[in-house]
């Protein structure tokens, strides 16, 4: 059996964890730069659609007394870690699927009352981290997704935990699930299925195997089996990330190469820092720049370049040197760039670092980076930067309604009277 | 120019060097002092490190640091104290906890189980008697405090 544990309205729940007056009140959380709504509490859902543009809804937020927050990823990330760690004490195998979702293998736990076990998990997570979760338990991963939806939708009846353990329950749940809501079905698949008269997950399970394989390939067949209760998809082991990326859309367009270089250098340093934090190196670097594709009236240009590095590295200095090289190669004058990014690839752990006979990084980089990380983490801000990064605050994200970083910053701890 | 004189350590004080390893700070504790010349007989013994994290934050996922900003619990707690709060501890009689009554902002109070109320140690503050219809939300129980002297 598999369980899918999903945090209820995760970002909103994080904002509530340290501020009980927000319980039961409508909350929305905005994307980076306060662009649009990326999370809503249940109370806000009736008034604000997902992805609503912030400035267009300012009036609605005011009229409905909706609490608006800039995204506070240090807080969400820390609480997510806490939730995942608590979950891993309930099963030896869990797969962290996203910031607020995890699959858990319950094989060997079948003799337990799984509803009880699920409730124990839910209670423990709530007690230790103050984050409410819903849990769906079923014989396969795809079915556990559906069970989770039922647990969430009928929270008062299920108590937030639903076990899909009999054939009758499964048939009922599959008939209740629209085909386009099935996990991993994709828009193209579901449109094609709807055209052939398949409107629920149940209809899909009734299709002949040969037909599904022919029309929807192995992927479709795998999904059909999963929905029939035959487990095909196993938990994915946690690996070191295959690629690390930092990409951003700019608030206003950038045309000159100097400013672009400054942005890309900063992105490269952010990638390098992420690499150092997980103790790994990269040996390939990709950068891209592109104009605003939505503005059909403007001249369009987009280009990327992949560079092989002479040795594995996680040094700010090395990465930024290659970023500048790459940018010089792909930059074209006369365009208004809207987005750029740096992606570090070919990632290997610290232990697998090969020694190159002819070309190696200056060993001083390693020491320097350690010192920089230590000072920056102590100051809580990026005070030490490379000289080709901007030291002024001009690029600081727009975060007008940011809550405190209660769990990650000494100066922003919760204060009690 | 002013000359600052460094204080001399007396015989009874030994300067303990400490290491910074990632986030954890450990203090290396040496038994006896080191002498030059003859190899130290202590070399074969692995040095013992004392970690404050290990002792006071044994379950980091259930530990929260919270700052005191009022004097309702004076003299037990003082302003600017940092409280080490554990959400895996149960709210027992006479324990100090971070609580919210009926979804108000969190406060720090002492739990009086017998009289079913949340008490302030400072007599200038009122105690709150918990009624049947009240909801009590507990962030965690205060187990330790850190205070600058």
Model confidence over B59-111: pLDDT tens digits? 999 999 999 999 999 999 999 999 999 999 999 999 999 999 999 999 999 99
The lowest-confidence range among A206-210, A405-409, B139-143 is A405-409
Return the pLDDT at B26.
53
Whether the pLDDT of residue B17 is over 50: the answer is no
Determine the average pLDDT of the residues in A349-373.
69
One DSSP character per residue, B96-120 reads: EEEEEETTPPPEEEEEETTTTEEE-
Q: Cα separation of A393 and A379, whole Å?
A: 16
Return the pLDDT at A240.
54
Question: What SS3 class is residue A219?
Answer: helix
Whether the pLDDT of residue A399 is over 60: the answer is yes
pLDDT band at A187 (very low <50, low <70, confident <90, very high): confident
Q: Cα separation of A313 and A319, whole Å?
A: 8
Average of per-residue pLDDT values in chain A: 87
Whether the pLDDT of residue B5 is over 50: the answer is no
Q: Cβ distance A274 to A345 under 8 Å?
A: no
pLDDT tens digits along A306-319:
888 888 888 888 99
The catalytic site residues of B sit at: 72, 109
pLDDT band at A145 (very low <50, low <70, confident <90, very high): very high
Size of interface A-B (CB pairs under 8 A): 67
Return the pLDDT at A352.
52
The lowest-confidence range among A18-22, A353-357, B64-68 is A353-357
> Of B70, B83, B87, which has the smallest distance from its Cβ to A417's Cβ?
B70
pLDDT tens digits along A276-308:
888 888 888 989 999 887 777 888 898 888 888
Q: Do A416 and B64 lie within an 8 Å CB cutoff? A: no
Three state DSSP letters for chain A: CEEEEEECCHHHHHHHHCCHHHCCCCEEEECHHHCEEEEECHHHHCCCCCCCEHHHCHHHHHHCCCEEEECCHHHHHHHHHHHHHHHCCCCCCEEEEECCEEEEECCCCCCCCHHHHHHHHHHHHHHHHCCCEEEEEECCHHHHHHHHHHHHHCHHHHCCEEECCCHHHHHHHHHHCEHHHCCCCCHHHHHHHHHCCCCEHHHHHHCCHHHHHHHHHHHHHHHHHHHCCCCCCCCCCCCCCCCEEEEEEEEEEECCHHHHHHHHHHHHHHHHHHHHHCCEEEEEEEEEEEECCCCCCCCCCEEEEEEEEEEEECCHHHHHHHHHHHHHHHCCCCCCEEEEEEEEEEEEEHHHCCCCCCCCCCHHHHHHHHHHHHHHHHHCCCCCCCCCCCCCHHHCCCCCCCCCCCCCCHHHCEEEC
Q: Which residues in chain B have their CB less than 8 angstroms from residue A130's CB?
A: 87, 139
> Of A82, A86, A416, which has the smallest distance from its Cβ to B106's Cβ?
A416
pLDDT tens digits along B101-136:
999 999 999 999 999 999 999 999 999 999 989 999
**Angle, alpha carbons B100-B105-B109 (nearest 5°):** 50
Q: Do B69 and A24 lie within an 8 Å CB cutoff? A: no
Whether the pLDDT of residue A322 is over 80: the answer is yes
The lowest-confidence range among A111-115, A160-164, B15-19 is B15-19
Residue with the bigger pLDDT between A381 and A337: it is A337
pLDDT band at A389 (very low <50, low <70, confident <90, very high): confident
> Of B61, B68, B105, which has the smallest distance from its Cβ to A128's Cβ?
B61
Confirm whether the ipTM is greater than 0.95.
no
Q: Do A414 and B82 lie within an 8 Å CB cutoff? A: no
Question: What SS3 class is residue A364?
Answer: helix
The lowest-confidence range among A31-35, A110-114, A237-241 is A237-241
For residue A364, the tally of other CB atoms under 10 A from its CB is 10
pLDDT band at B10 (very low <50, low <70, confident <90, very high): very low
Q: Which two tokens stand for residue A66?
A: 């909706």
Return the pLDDT at A123.
96
- What residues form DSSP beta bridges with A280? A349
Whether the pLDDT of residue B41 is over 50: the answer is yes
Q: Do B70 and A407 lie within an 8 Å CB cutoff? A: no
Return the pLDDT at A371.
80
pLDDT tens digits along A99-144:
899 999 998 888 889 999 999 999 999 999 999 999 999 999 999 9
Whether the pLDDT of residue A165 is over 50: the answer is yes
Question: Which positions in chain B have a beta carbon within 8 angstroms of at least one beta carbon in chain A?
Answer: 20, 61-62, 64-70, 72, 82-83, 87-88, 98, 100, 103-108, 137, 139
> Comparing C-alpha atoms, which of A365, A364, A285, A270 is closest to residue A324?
A285
Q: Which residues in chain B have their CB less than 8 angstroms from residue A21's CB?
A: 103-105
pLDDT band at B11 (very low <50, low <70, confident <90, very high): very low
Determine the average pLDDT of the residues in A352-360.
57
Whether the pLDDT of residue B9 is over 60: the answer is no
Residue with the bigger pLDDT between B149 and A381: it is B149
pLDDT band at B13 (very low <50, low <70, confident <90, very high): very low
Q: Which two tokens stand for residue A362?
A: 């200056």
Residue with the bigger pLDDT between A171 and B23: it is A171
């Amino acid at each position: 059996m598999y369980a899918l544990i999903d945090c209820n309205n995760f970002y909103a729940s994080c904002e509530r964890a340290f501020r009980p007056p927000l319980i039961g009140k409508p909350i929305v959380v905005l994307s980076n730069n306060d662009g649009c709504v990326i999370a809503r509490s249940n109370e806000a859902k009736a008034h604000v659609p997902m992805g609503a543009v912030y400035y267009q809804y300012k009036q609605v937020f005011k009229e409905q007394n909706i609490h608006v927050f800039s995204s506070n990823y240090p807080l969400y990330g820390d609480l997510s870690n806490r939730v995942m760690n608590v979950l891993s004490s309930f099963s030896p195998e869990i797969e962290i699927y996203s910031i607020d979702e995890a699959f858990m293998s319950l094989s060997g736990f079948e003799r337990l009352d799984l509803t009880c076990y699920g409730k124990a998990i839910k209670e423990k997570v709530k007690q230790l981290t103050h984050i409410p979760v819903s849990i769906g338990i079923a014989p396969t991963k795809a079915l556990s997704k559906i069970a989770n939806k039922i647990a969430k939708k009928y929270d008062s009846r299920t108590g937030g935990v639903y076990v899909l353990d009999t054939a009758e329950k499964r048939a009922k749940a599959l008939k209740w699930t629209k085909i386009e809501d099935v996990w991993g079905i994709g828009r193209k698949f579901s449109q094609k299925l709807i055209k052939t008269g398949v409107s629920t997950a149940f209809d899909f399970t009734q299709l002949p195997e040969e037909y599904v394989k022919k029309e929807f390939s192995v992927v479709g067949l795998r999904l059909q089996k999963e929905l029939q209760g035959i487990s095909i998809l196993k938990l994915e082991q946690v690996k070191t990330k295959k690629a690390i990326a930092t990409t951003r859309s700019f608030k206003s367009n950038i045309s000159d190469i100097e400013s672009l270089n400054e942005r890309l250098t900063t992105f490269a340093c952010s990638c390098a820092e992420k690499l150092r934090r997980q103790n790994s190196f990269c040996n390939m670097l990709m950068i891209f720049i592109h104009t605003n594709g939505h503005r059909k009236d403007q001249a369009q240009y987009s280009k990327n370049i992949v560079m092989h590095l002479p040795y594995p590295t996680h040094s700010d200095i090395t990465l930024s040197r290659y970023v500048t090289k790459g940018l010089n190669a792909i930059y074209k004058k006369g365009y208004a760039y809207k987005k750029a990014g740096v992606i570090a690839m070919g990632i290997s752990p610290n232990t697998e670092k090969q020694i190159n006979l002819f070309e190696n990084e200056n060993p001083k980089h390693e020491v320097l980076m350690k010192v920089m990380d230590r000072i920056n983490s102590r100051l809580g801000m990026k005070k030490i930067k490379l000289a080709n990064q901007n030291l002024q605050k001009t690029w600081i994200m727009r975060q007008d309604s940011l809550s405190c970083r209660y769990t990650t910053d000494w100066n922003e701890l919760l204060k009690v009277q | 120019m002013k000359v600052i004189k460094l204080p001399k350590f007396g015989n009874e004080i030994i300067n303990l060097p400490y290491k910074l390893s990632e986030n954890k700070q450990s203090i290396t504790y040496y038994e006896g002092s080191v002498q030059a010349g003859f190899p130290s007989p202590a070399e074969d013994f692995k040095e013992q490190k004392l970690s404050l994290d290990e002792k006071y934050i044994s379950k980091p996922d259930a530990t929260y640091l919270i700052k005191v900003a009022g004097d309702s619990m004076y003299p037990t707690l003082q302003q600017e104290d940092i409280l080490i709060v554990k959400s895996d501890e149960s709210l027992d009689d006479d324990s100090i906890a971070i609580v919210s009554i009926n979804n108000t902002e969190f406060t720090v109070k002492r739990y009086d189980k017998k009289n079913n109320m949340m008490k302030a140690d400072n007599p200038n503050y009122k105690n709150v008697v918990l009624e049947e219809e009240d909801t009590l939300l507990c962030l965690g129980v205060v187990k330790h405090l850190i205070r600058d002297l």
